[in-house]
Amino acid sequence: MSVNAIMLRPIDTVVTIVGDVAKGSTVNYTKDGETCSVIALEDIPAFHKIAIKSLKSGEHIIKYGQIIGGLVEDAPEGCWISHKNIISLPRNYEDEL
């Protein structure tokens, strides 16, 4: 079983796939040294995100350990996460310096 997605932090709620994935295909990623998998619910283009757990509307999307946006609708495990179901969230960068 080869890894075909990237997870950098165990708190991530999505992983980035490294090649096109067809609906019904298995996406494999490594979390804490273990290989995990999720089934794609739709065709997903390379370098896009897939939900690795079911997420609720309004929930934060975490990628590479950072909040990258909020969901505008529920997203089941295996769902393509893209600009169609994420909104930007305000962020105070000065507080992070």
Which domains are delineated in the chain?
5-96 (2.30.130.110)
Which of 49, 41, 22 is closest to 79 using CA atoms?
A: 41
Average pLDDT over residues 9-27: 97
Per-residue pLDDT of 31-59, as tens digits, reads 999 999 999 999 999 999 999 999 999 99
Residue 94: band (very low, low, confident or very high) from pLDDT cuts 50, 70, 90: confident
Q: Where are the beta strands (DSSP E) in the chain?
A: 5-6, 14-17, 26-31, 34-39, 49-51, 60-63, 66-71, 80-81, 86-87
Specify the pTM.
0.90
pLDDT of residue 97: 73
